[in-house]
């Protein structure tokens, strides 16, 4: 059951207090967070289907994290590694940030699409059988994606109908689900931070469930229309046993995102520390 708050301000205040308290403990005892997390981390066996295939679902949901900046999830980011922008993509990224990312398509209730769907902070449910895997997302546009597992190939490029989630085919490599997707439209951003893509985007995602409580997610982004080379991002997703998806409504022509930036009065990134 989720905690309920009467206002968004109450939620933010509670979150801030918890973060400050944890930060003080870590400053006083640097080993606090690591030792406490290791001691409390559950390690249940990986659930499996009757045929032995890893079961990516179950009686619960995946608690998707909020990945605002894909660049920060690249290996080597702390050493200066960044997405290999083509000039126009770098210029658009800079423009989006200069405008406080208030033109983010997802902020106007459009589907996240692509790997961003696994980094939008609402629960998701995975439904799995032999021929297909369906991922249902609670938040954002309250949408779903379908992954074909029956051995089919992508349609020819000239027969693809570009969509928000593209055309996905998957297969198992050991205990890792590998999902190959093409046929994206150009109506989404890769992330909240304003990284762009084109309809040449091709992603390869890897889903691994080493034990019940965690899903390891890796996505390779290959878009020769926006980047000079492929680049990859990764993060972990926590399992919440027993939770169900809830109703979520995002209104068409959403004005909240623009109003939020106007009300703040300062560039968003000055507050969030976004990169």
Model confidence pLDDT, tens digit, residues 193-217: 999 999 999 999 999 999 999 999 9
Task: Write down the residue that tokens 């976004």 correspond to.
Answer: 274
Residue 270: the pLDDT is 42
Return d(Cα 136, Cα 180) in angstroms, integer: 18
Lowest mean pLDDT among 47-51, 79-83, 238-242, 271-275: 271-275
pLDDT tens digits for 2-22? 444 344 344 344 434 334 333
Choice between 254 and 200, residue whose per-residue pLDDT is larger: 200
Classify 218 as helix, strand or coil: strand
Lookup: tokens for 251: 């209104």
Q: Provide CB contacts within 8 A for 14, sequence distance 6+.
A: 5
Two structure tokens written together for 265? 């009065």
Task: Compute φ and ψ for 25, nearest 5 degrees.
Answer: -65, -40
Contact 100, 261 (CB under 8 A): yes
> For 51, phi and psi rounded to 5 degrees?
-90, 5
What interhelical angle do 32-40 and 8-28 show, nearest 10? 110
CA angle 249, 253, 258 (to 5 degrees): 100
Contact residues for 78 (Cβ-Cβ < 8 A; gap 6+): none
Whole-number Å distance between alpha carbons of 275 and 254: 25
Cα 99 off chain centre by: 22
């Amino acid at each position: 059951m989720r905690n309920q708050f009467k206002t968004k301000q109450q939620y933010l205040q509670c979150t801030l207090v918890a973060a400050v308290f944890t930060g003080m403990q870590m400053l006083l005892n640097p080993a606090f967070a690591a030792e406490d997390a290791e001691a409390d981390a559950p390690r249940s066996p990986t659930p499996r289907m009757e045929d032995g295939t890893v079961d990516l679902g179950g009686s619960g949901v995946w608690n998707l994290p909020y990945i605002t900046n894909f660049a920060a999830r690249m290996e080597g980011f702390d050493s200066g590694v960044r997405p290999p922008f083509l000039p126009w993509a770098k210029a658009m990224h800079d423009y989006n940030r200069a405008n406080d990312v208030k033109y983010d398509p997802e902020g106007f209730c459009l589907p996240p699409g692509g790997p961003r769907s696994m980094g939008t902070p609402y629960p998701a449910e995975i439904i799995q059988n032999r021929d297909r895997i369906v991922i249902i997302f609670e938040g954002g546009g309250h949408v779903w994606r379908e992954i074909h597992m029956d051995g089919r190939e992508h349609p020819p490029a000239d027969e693809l109908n570009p969509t928000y989630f593209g055309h996905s085919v998957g297969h198992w490599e050991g205990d890792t689900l590998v999902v190959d997707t093409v046929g994206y439209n150009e109506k989404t951003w890769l992330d909240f931070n304003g990284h762009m893509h084109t309809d040449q985007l091709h992603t390869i995602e890897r889903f691994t469930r080493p034990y019940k409580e965690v899903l390891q997610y890796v996505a390779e982004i290959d878009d020769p229309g926006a980047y000079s080379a492929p680049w990859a991002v990764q993060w972990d997703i926590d399992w919440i046993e027993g939770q169900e998806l809830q109703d979520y409504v995002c209104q068409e022509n959403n004005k909240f995102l623009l109003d939020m930036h106007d009300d703040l009065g300062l560039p968003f990134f000055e507050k969030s520390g976004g990169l």
